[in-house]
Amino acid sequence: MCVTGGCLCGAIRFEGDAEPQFQVTCYCTDCRRTSGAGHAAMMGFIDGAIHVTRGAREFASKADSGNDIVRAFCPTCGSGIYSRTAGMPHLIFLRASALDDPALFAPQLAVWADRAPAWDAVPAPLPKRRSAINRGSAQWR
């Protein structure tokens, strides 16, 4: 698929022609805090398949899974753009919220689903996982 998107002010853009490796919503506390909602929505692509404008600010932290994770956002408008996790170093996760066409996102799984707040419940048809996804997650291999 052709994927384009960017931040609110337009300073950071991304584009690529690639198929998402997987698509998830994440209800972990850190994703909630950075999302502006109850969860983050992310599309994982092979790193290198997506071109991202330089200049995004990166914030590194330790995920609940124990993996190092970097979340990138626009330093001007604050929009979340992408993240990378040491658990899956071959992927870049684009924030579905930054897509030009949000209909491209088709979530397959909700992770940390038991942390979903009542006001942002996981949609019933979506498979739920109680913790993080990882390199070792059989479902993705």
Residue 116 structure tokens:
């979903």
Binder among 3, 24, 31, 69 for Zn ion (CB under 5 A): 31
Q: Report the amino acid identity of residue 12.
A: I
Q: Is beta strand 109-111 parallel, antiparallel or unpaired with respect to 22-26?
A: parallel
Name the phi and psi angles at 58, rounded to 5. Answer: -115, 135
Binder among 7, 91, 94, 122 for Zn ion (CB under 5 A): 7
Site membership for Zn ion, residue 11 (CB under 5 A)? yes
Site membership for Zn ion, residue 109 (CB under 5 A)? no
What number of chain residues touch Zn ion (CB under 5 A)?
9
Please enumerate in sequence order all residues whose Cβ is within 8 A of that of 140, keeping only pairs 6 or more positions apart, or say none. 21, 22, 133
Site membership for Zn ion, residue 76 (CB under 5 A)? yes
Whether residue 39 contacts residue 97, with contact meaning beta carbons closer than 8 Å, is answered with: no
Indicate the residue among 12 and 50 with the shorter CB distance to Zn ion: 12
Site membership for Zn ion, residue 77 (CB under 5 A)? yes
Site membership for Zn ion, residue 74 (CB under 5 A)? yes
Options 68-76, 86-94, 99-107, 123-131: segment touching Zn ion (CB under 5 A): 68-76
Provide the phi-psi class of 27: left if phi over 0, else alpha when psi is between -120 and 50, else beta.
alpha
| Binding residues for Zn ion (CB under 5 A) | 7, 9, 11, 26, 28, 31, 74, 76-77
